[in-house]
Amino acid sequence: MDKRDRKFVHDISQVFGLKSKSAGKGRARYPVLYKTARSRRDFDADLLESLQLRAKRPFFSRMDKRSGGKSLPPKRSGGVGGTQFGYREGEIVGATAPELGADNRGRVLLEKMGWSIGTGLGSINNRGILMPVEHVVKNSKRGLG
């Protein structure tokens, strides 16, 4: 049984309160269902509707894998309007990111603890770092070891 069909059987078993697991190896994998004390025995309209919704739920395959399990090369740039999705060697991560707004949860928490714009992070008179730690992208293995 293929992965998608096994997943569907496992989803149905949850609706009925059955315990399920997959057994076997490779293409010979199959689901095994166990009856439990909380297993359902009745059918009602809501139950059948939920099963139909689960059957119609779309299945999205992984975009970073090819069929056969081989990885795709990382995407460096492209997209709508030439926006960049990845970083190149030597670039600083988040260098072009805008400042966090006043509605950001992290910023709200820092402000509740006494931090304000222009002051450093730290417990003793806010004498800690003023700028966040920068991360420079390194894709190659050159210079390691």
**Residues 22-67 pLDDT 10s:** 999 988 899 999 988 888 777 677 777 777 776 666 655 555 555 5
Contact 71, 64 (CB under 8 A): yes
Q: Across the chain, how many H-helices and E-strands are there?
A: 3, 2
Mean pLDDT over 115-137 rounds to 79
Distance of alpha carbon 92 from alpha carbon 60, whole angstroms: 32
Q: Angle at CA 79, nearest 5°, toward 88 and 136?
A: 20
